[in-house]
Structure 1
Amino acid sequence: MANKDLEAEIHPLKNEDSKSQENLGNQSKNEDNLKSKPLQTRLSRCRTVAFFLSLFVCLFVVFIVSFIIPCPERPLSQATWRLDYSTAVTYDFLAVGDVNRDKIQDVLFLHKNTNSSDNVSRSCTDEGFSTPCAFMVAVSGANGSVLWERPVAQDVALAKCAVPHPSDSEVSSACILVGRLESFIAVNLFTGETLWSHSNTFGGNVSILSPLLQVPDVDRDGTPDLLILTREGQEVSGSIYSGSTGYQIGHRGSLSVDGDGVALLHVTRSGAHYILLPCESALCGISVKSLHERVTGRDSPFKDDSHWENMLNRSAQRRLLLSSGAVRYLMNVPGKAGQDLLLVSSEACMLLDGQDLVPRWTFSATQVLRKPILGHYKPDTLAVVIENGTSTDRQILLLDLSTGSLLWSQPLPSLPGSPPSTSLMTADHRSAFFFWGLHELLDTNEMDPQDTQHSLYMFHPTLPGILLELANVSANIVAFDAILFEPSRHAAYVLLTGPASSDMPGLVSVTKHKVRDLVPGSRVVHLGEGRSDSDQAIRDRFSRLRYRSEV
């Protein structure tokens, strides 16, 4: 302390200077603080303005989108519609596709008409045909209005729609039609306009076998090509056509088989494509590679399967497999490592390994009426539906596809010529099945098709003791299908009725009925004892079914 006092006495000004500098420093800090406060206030105000401005813009955008800009109208789909043609005949052909691109499936069918329709801008004579000729019609699945209608052939032998076409976005799908008399045409699925048209060269004594097969891209133009099988006498031949132009690739070539019936294109595990054809108590075949080399006379870019070629070379008749009876139906079905084969003969139904053709299982069924269909009895487990027996003693059989075990069976007599069964996937990963038949069988002598009605029954595996009778139809049914018109929205069935003989024109009708709307007025058929639910409770359960697209 003495030193400090002494220092102050010796240098009095120094002490005053230090104090003044401290005071000046404090004063400058205070001035800086006073200057920064207005700046911070202005920044705070700017942030507030920016926040409220952005909030206002967001609310304005929401208001515009929600209230001022109208939402796109979803097309109204009618539950029922009907389209009639008088003095006409029709074909066993129904196809679906979104023709007008409204996200609702549309219906395509064929009819042969004497009178011109109001929807036809071109007549038979405009296309070089005599009257009557065959017309293709695209009908809106939403309301039954005609989207387009045009003459396509003098008479139709084969038809196939939704064939992929080259990369042009406006022409992404086509319908291919083969006429019985020198006509081969492709039309745009969306507009009905001609994509290409040629005269076929099959000849008058040649019968055209079904179906129209789609083979790999032979001419390497980016479009799958077409294979038409014909039969003349005992010889079966094949002709390959470009899918993009319709021109024949090479010439007609013999398959070296005496088969008859419905052909099938099968892909082996090695990726080789084979044409399979029922022969006399056998299964015959030829590779697409061999046929391509025969019709063009040059090496083919496709391949054979060595195992299959060994089997074929051991038989002079190109037989792959001997059958215990005549082969009636062939189907490709999903397998564990690719396609398997479901073969139905006059003696049994069997599942064959798609590569070795070794039976996985065999089920005795001696009178299968028609080609089986697939569905799901258990969740995500494929089942096959077999209609076994004559029309009066027909039985519906559901078999597990993987094991061949019987899952469900029910006697269901039917009228001669009754439509095939079908199925639709439901949201619980099962299927709703649709069967035509007569649950209450009349006396055999009284079963006159003109007096007795076809009855449509609906079945779902969650109610194995119930059939739901949805409709009764007295007209002659030519084609039938159950369709999911909108994904996860509404399922409906489409019915094509017309004269039983092509020589007797009459009323041709196409009708659509929404399944859910038919359930409240349906009749509940109890197949056995054991359930205490009321009929109304059962109808309510069927009404709550939701459908889904198979992927």
Structure 2
Amino acid sequence: MTDNKEQDTEIHPLKSEEGVSPASPAKKGVCLGGSRLFHLSSWRTVAFFASLFLCLTIVFAFSFIIPCPVRPVSQRTWINTYRDSSTYTFLAVTDANNDKVMDVIFAFRGSNGSLNASCSNKGFSPCSFLVAVTGTNGSVLWKRSLSHELLWVQCGIENLGGLEAAGCLVFNSQHLTAIDSRSGVTLWENNNTLELKQLAVKVPDLDGDDVGDVALIGSAENKTKVVIVSGKTGQQIGTDADPGLSDVSGHVIHVTSSGSYYILFKKDSAVYGYALKNIVAMAIKMPGSNTSNIKLQQDPKWEEMTNSTSGSVSVYNSGSVQHLLKMGIQGKTPENLLLVTGHWVELIDGQSLSSLWRVNITKVISEPVFGNFNNDGVPDVVVEDEIGNGTKKVVILNGSSGAVLWEVEMMSSSTSPKPSTVNTADNRSAFLFWGEVRGKTNTTVSLNQQDFLYLLHPSYPKILLELNNSTENIAAFKAVLFEKSRHACYVLLTGPTEQSETGSVSLSKRELKEDVTLSRVVRLSQEEGFSDKEVRDSFLMLQYSSSA
């Protein structure tokens, strides 16, 4: 028996001597533990499905219940017409309603009933209106009537009135008004006795309110005066500064390589530079005035060139100056200076003031514009040169050397606006200009009635696209990217510009690709072997860029 029991124990080692498994109590514990695990597993299942349901609910809410921002739908073409009116040559483009689509600000003269606004209560008729319209469809965003004849408007001034958005300055009848470009409301007003024929310049913060200020250049008793006003409040800072000049016809603000600010004054035959630090010192010269917080400096190199008697730097004195422009090069400080005289176009170095290149011309008939023709990182210069007999030559000059990159002769009109450019994604530009390319037939009469708009891209230097034509007087024209890196259009403002004349004033926006589809291909040479359809298709595939 004993042997059988031991044998049975060897066969069933977990059984006790009483024939009961020693693990039986443990099995009871395992069952109890299993029960607890079962309850725990149930709670985990509930938590899992609850979390899954919550996640699905959130996804559903964000996908359907909470709508995504609706991107504005821009009409390719729109036009606004104002009857019995006349217009100004002012045209500005900015995002006035913060929808990431550029809007248009312009001005015109009209009757009291225009735009359902009146200025008869201000004792002035006809009214002058400043209007902002949306770039998407041309509807009015805001409007304001002006009680006196408008002399000039300047938009795009950052932080005006202390706002984050850019504002506009409006000057009429010795009355300067700063307005919010988003709403048209008045930010501040300044009554000034100066004759302000020229636009203002933005200068650094001079009164310590963390908002950049504004310098106004005008004349009083045949003397040039500089008035500095607070960009935040419009209050004058100090008194009128007198740099000792007369007959100034233009100005720009220039920053040297050391970060020093200079105001460059353009006279008929020369350009003179005055340190902003010295002008501020003239304005704030009252006893006890604290100027320690004004952080301005003078450039050491420019001070070596300063005349000790006049306090000015002779920037240029080699001929009659018609235009003075700044030409910026990405990554280079300072900007170079482009001067147009009666006989040549010249680029001078913005630091050393030495001549970089000079090109002889006959007579420049419009202000030059900049674009990129050869993709070398240096802006090229578009010049319209009158060559006689109602003909002009449109020339694109190499910004690096002044060499002619491209040119074409065409019939000219006195009402043609200056050219415009828009950047393309290949680091070049599309060039737009008005005139009429002479064909095989005699077209010497037609330009008295029509202006033609042409599009050029460096990919096809021997081909132009004739996009549009106009029989109206063109007051202003501008090529614009209405949305970042897309929606390339041009804005056209037509109508009489004289106060004594009235007629139909039209403001229109047209998408370039829309006009390309309907364009006429003009071949400057028969060497190009592309069909008209291939040319249009290539222009339709152009991608545009917001960066230079």
TM normalised by structure 2 equals 0.87
What residue number does 1:11 align with?
Answer: none
For residue 263 of structure 1, report the CA deviation from its aligned partner: 0.9
* 1:192 matched residue in structure 2: 184
Q: What letter matches 1:217 in structure 2?
A: D
Q: Which residue of 1 aligns with 2:385?
A: 389
The SS at the match of 1:36 is: helix
Write the deviation string for residues 286-328 of structure 1: whole angstroms up to 9, x where unpaired: 1212112212215752222232233231675835134432122
CA distance in 1, matches of 2:241, 2:445: 47
Tell me, which stretches of 5 or more residues in structure 1 are unaligned?
9-15
Match of 1:423 among 409, 418, 421: 421
Alignment of structure 1 residues 322-471 onto 2, 5 Å: 322-335=316-329, 336-379=332-375, 381-390=377-386, 392-440=390-438, 446-447=444-445, 451-471=448-468
Q: Given the superposition, is the C-alpha separation of residues 519 and 256 from structure 1 closer, same or farther in structure 2, using an over 3 Å criterion? A: same
Whether the 8 Å contact between 2:430 and 2:457 is mirrored in structure 1 is: yes
Change (3 A) 1:532 1:32: farther
Query: Equivalent residue for 1:150?
Result: 144
Given residue 160 of structure 1, which amino acid in structure 2 is its aligned partner? Answer: Q
Match of 2:72 in 1: 75
Cα drift, residue 44 of structure 1: 4.1
Counterpart in 2 of 1:12? none
Alignment partner of 1:548 out of 529, 532, 545 = 545
- The secondary structure found in structure 1 opposite 2:250 is coil
CA shift, 1:401, in A, is: 2.2
Question: Any idea what the Cα deviations from partners look like across 1:208-245, whole Å, max 9, x if unmatched?
Answer: 33222122222222222222222356532222222222
Paired residues of 2:160 and 2:178 also in contact (CA < 8 A):
no
How far off is 1:20 after superposition? 5.9
Contact 2:494 2:506 (8 Å CA) reproduced = yes
Change in CA separation of 1:435 and 1:393 when aligned onto 2, cut-off 3 Å: same
- Shift in alpha-carbon separation, 1:168–1:243, aligned structure 2, 3 A: closer
Aligned to 1:273: 261
Sequence identity percentage: 36
Please identify, of 108-117 and 55-64, the stretch whose mean Cα deviation from structure 2 is larger.
55-64
Question: C-alpha distance in 1, partners of 2:241/2:87?
Answer: 32
Contact in 2 for aligned 1:137/1:146 (Cα 8 Å) = yes
What's the counterpart of residue 104 of structure 2?
A: 107
Alpha carbons of 1:442 and 1:133: their partners in 2 closer, same or farther (altered >3 Å)?
farther
- 2:232 counterpart residue number: 244
Residue 160 of structure 1 deviates from its aligned partner by: 1.1
Would you say the 8 A contact 1:107–1:140 is kept in 2? yes
Q: CA deviation at 1:502?
A: 2.6
Tell me the alpha carbon deviations over residues 122-161 of structure 1, each in whole angstroms, 9 at most, x when there is no partner.
Answer: x3244x3421232111111111111211123411222111
Q: 2:314 aligns with which of 296, 317, 320?
A: 320
CA deviation profile, 1:323-364 (whole Å, cap 9, x unmatched): 432122222222423322222222332222221111223333
Aligned match for 2:283, one of 295, 314, 323 = 295
The answer to whether the aligner puts 1:306 opposite 2:300 as a matched pair is yes
| 2:50 aligned residue | 53
Q: Which residue of 2 aligns with 1:13?
A: none
Asked whether the equivalents of residues 273 and 304 of structure 1 are also in contact (C-alpha less than 8 Å), the reply is yes
Deviation at 1:535, TM superposition (A): 0.6
Q: Contact 1:161 / 1:175 at 8 angstroms: preserved in 2?
A: yes
Q: Size of the alignment, in residue pairs?
A: 528
Report how far residue 434 of structure 1 moved: 0.9
Partner Cα separation in structure 2 for residue 102 and residue 150 of structure 1: 21
> CA-to-partner distance for each residue in 1:465-497, whole Å, 9 max, x for gaps?
211111000100011111111223312111111
Task: For 1:386 and 1:429, locate their aligned partners in 2 and report how far apart those are by CA, in whole Å.
Answer: 17
2:202 aligned with 1:214: yes
- Aligned to 1:504, which of 495, 501, 511? 501
Shift in CA distance, 139/378, structure 1 to aligned 2, threshold 3 Å: same
Q: Where does the alignment leave 5 or more consecutive residues of structure 2 unmatched? A: 7-12
244, 247, 250: which one aligns with 1:256: 244
Q: Are residues 1:475 and 2:468 paired?
A: no
Q: What whole-Å deviation, never above 9, does each CA across 1:154-207 have from its counterpart, x for those lacking one?
A: 1122211132336866x743221111x2321122212212222232212xxx4x
Counterpart code for 2:369? I
* Of 146, 171, 190, the match for 1:178: 171
Offset, 1:269: 1.2
Contact 1:456–1:472, Cα closer than 8 Å, also in 2 = yes
Between 1:284-293 and 1:433-442, the stretch displaced more is: 433-442
2:271 paired with 1:283: yes
Tell me which amino acid in the other structure corresponds to 2:155.
C
Q: CA deviation at 1:33?
A: 3.8
Using the TM superposition, give the Cα deviation of residue 68 of structure 1 relative to its aligned residue in structure 2, in angstroms: 4.0
Cα contact 2:78–2:508 (8 A) shared by 1: yes
Contact 2:268–2:322 under 8 Å retained in 1: no
* Aligned-partner Cα distance in 1 for 2:298–2:177: 31
Q: Provide the alpha-carbon RMSD of the alignment.
A: 3.1
Provide the rounded CA distance (Å) in 1 between the counterparts of 2:92 and 2:373.
26
Which of residues 530, 534, 537 in structure 2 aligns to 1:537?
534
Equivalent residues of 1:413, 1:441 under 8 A apart: no
Find the counterpart in structure 1 of residue 10 from structure 2: none
Q: 1:116 to 1:343 in 2, by over 3 A?
A: same
Matched, 1:132 2:120: no
| TM-score, reference length from structure 1 | 0.87
The amino acid of 1:307's aligned partner reads K
Q: Secondary structure at the match of 1:252?
A: coil
Paired residues of 2:385 and 2:395 also in contact (CA < 8 A): no
Range with greater deviation from structure 2 (525-534 or 227-236) = 227-236
Contact 2:161 2:178 in 1 (8 A): no
| 3-state secondary structure, aligned to 2:59 | helix
**CA separation in 2, counterparts of 1:115 and 1:542?**
45
Q: Does 1:87 align with 2:84?
A: yes
| CA distance 1:530–1:211, shift in 2 (3 Å) | same
Residue 365 of structure 1 contacts residue 388 of structure 1 at CA under 8 Å; is this kept in 2?
no
Q: Distance in 2 between matches of 1:160 and 1:218?
A: 21
